[in-house]
Amino acid sequence: MVPASQISNQATPTQIKVDGVEIRLVRLPLIEPFETSFGKIDSRLIFLICLSAGGLKGWGEVVASEQPLYSYETVGTAFHVIKDFLAPAVLDEPITSLADLARRFARFRGHNMAKAGLELAFMDLLAQVNKQSLAALIGGERKRVAVGVSLGIQPTLSQLLSRVEKYLDLGYQRIKLKIKPNWDIHVVFEVRRMYPDILLSVDANSAYTLADVDHLRQLDDFDLLMIEQPLQSDDIVDHAELQQRLKTSLCLDESITGQRQAKAALDLKSCRIINIKIGRVGGYSEALAIHELCAARSIPVWCGGMLESGIGRAHNIALASLHGFTLPGDISASSRYFERDLISPEVTVASDGTVAVPDAAGLGFEVDTFYIERQTETRVYLSRK
């Protein structure tokens, strides 16, 4: 594993002079609505970043949603923070490394998804300059990554059961059910009854409090791989108490916004598994640090998803190729969410529930600029003064 601080500090130190930062908001309809404990969406406003440098283009994706539900960031806040603060920091001086970029962003508080979008695009550029795949650039070893699927809350139990069957038939290695009060115990009971042996987990997106401990303890009967983020999004203290009172492993998602939170959660025993999302933690530098921390403590990690387009998905695949990503990630096929993706070829899941890690330089996928242009709602180009 290459420590983040050493990336690009090899024999010939790379200098990347970014000429322009393009922001594009691209509307992609979802094949079917996606419902979690905080609501339902039927399209995704995809926030793309394209950095240009000496004829190369590096692509990243800001995973913020339109509404501040999963996190306080939105497409609108990320747009503002990138345009007014982060892009000027990128355009300021040639960038010498990922650590250099992360240092420029560090003085701005929060806004991790906005920072991550730029880090992703920078790493795509750096990989192209080095003629390496993204996976190789960060020290990823896997040729294929194991994947699972996240199934939203459905109008009826029978619709959920038919989706479980569909994704198991497609080969997905783990089924994750979104839960909320009144869509939890009986739902998990039925899925487990139909499929006694599958890898099964649940994700509450902070829909419960510690007062629900006796209710949540009923989940201990179903041999779940994990319960993801049952309590408040910024909590690690109540999760530690809950973990002590449950047999099932807790996994934190929303609560882990960086390496300090990851270390605190592990020190407090607030969870036994961590979901790493590059966007939530502010980019590759933090994601790599959390991966190293967890590997050193034998804590399994897995790659979370945010209904990304193929561009964000390509970065997720690279991240999941790291050795510590031992549990299936929320990295589904493009076709699970979109009629048509922004990359070609699209991401596909093989019948053994794995996705290939590309070995071509950069993202490893062609970016479909024609389709991006067609779906673009907003475009802004920022350049050096």
Size of site (CB under 6 A) for ligand OSB: 11
Structure tokens at 22: 């393009």
What CA–CA distance (Å, rounded) separates 163 from 168?
8
Q: Among 129, 306, 342, 367, which residue sits at the site for ligand OSB (rule: CB under 6 A)?
A: 306
What CA–CA distance (Å, rounded) separates 246 from 270?
11
Catalytic residue flag (residue 178):
yes
Burial class of residue 24 in the structure, from the number of CB atoms within 10 Å of its CB (0-12 exposed, 13-18 middle, 19+ buried)? buried
Nearer to ligand OSB, 209 or 383 (CB): 209
Residue with tokens 């042996």: 197
List Cα–Cα distances, 313 to 255, 291, 306, in angstroms.
22, 18, 9
| Residue 61 makes contact with ligand OSB by CB under 6 A | no
Closest CB 70 distance from Mg ion, rounded Å: 8
Query: Which one of Mg ion, ligand OSB, none interacts with residue 248, CB within 5 to 8 A by kind?
Result: none
Q: Among 230, 305, 310, 358, which residue sits at the site for ligand OSB (rule: CB under 6 A)?
A: 305
Closest CB 348 distance from Mg ion, rounded Å: 24
List Cα–Cα distances, 79 to 29, 46, 211, 252, in angstroms.
21, 12, 38, 27
Q: Among 203, 235, 286, 341, which residue sits at the site for ligand OSB (rule: CB under 6 A)?
A: 203
Residue 219's SS3 state is: helix
Nearer to Mg ion, 132 or 233 (CB): 233
| Residue 35 makes contact with Mg ion by CB under 5 A | no
State residue 107 phi and psi, 5-degree precision. Answer: -75, -15
List Cα–Cα distances, 154 to 24, 70, 164, 175, 261, in angstroms.
32, 19, 11, 14, 32
Closest CB 34 distance from ligand OSB, rounded Å: 7
Closest CB 38 distance from Mg ion, rounded Å: 11
Catalytic residue among 166, 178, 180, 269: 178
Nearer to ligand OSB, 73 or 203 (CB): 203
Residues 214-273 that bind ligand OSB (CB under 6 A): 253
Nearer to ligand OSB, 115 or 174 (CB): 174
Residue 43's SS3 state is: strand
Nearer to Mg ion, 2 or 246 (CB): 246
Closest CB 87 distance from ligand OSB, rounded Å: 25
Residue with tokens 């240092």: 103
Which of 144, 119, 111, 141 has its CA nearest to residue 4?
119
Query: Which one of Mg ion, ligand OSB, none interacts with residue 286, CB within 5 to 8 A by kind?
Result: none
Closest CB 231 distance from Mg ion, rounded Å: 12
Nearer to ligand OSB, 139 or 171 (CB): 171
377 CB neighbour count, 10 Å cutoff = 10
Show the site string, 85-124: x = touches ligand OSB by CB under 6 A, - = not: ----------------------------------------
| Residue 307 makes contact with ligand OSB by CB under 6 A | yes
96 CB neighbour count, 10 Å cutoff = 14
**C-alpha dihedral, 145 to 123 to 303 to 83, nearest 10°:** -150
State residue 8 phi and psi, 5-degree precision. Answer: 75, 0
Binding region for ligand OSB (CB under 6 A) out of 52-60, 155-163, 300-308, 348-356: 300-308
Query: Which one of Mg ion, ligand OSB, none interacts with residue 306, CB within 5 to 8 A by kind?
Result: ligand OSB
Q: Among 124, 253, 286, 308, which residue sits at the site for Mg ion (rule: CB under 5 A)?
A: 253
Structure tokens at 135: 């996976």
Which DSSP symbol is given to 68? S
Query: Which one of Mg ion, ligand OSB, none interacts with residue 332, CB within 5 to 8 A by kind?
Result: ligand OSB
| Range list of β-strands (E), the chain | 20-36, 39-53, 56-62, 144-146, 149-151, 174-178, 199-203, 227-228, 250-252, 273-276, 301-303, 343-344, 354-356, 366-367, 376-383
- Residues that bind ligand OSB in the complex, under the rule CB under 6 A: 70, 150, 203, 205, 253, 304-307, 330, 332
- Residues that bind Mg ion in the complex, under the rule CB under 5 A: 203, 228, 253
- Active-site residue numbers? 178, 277
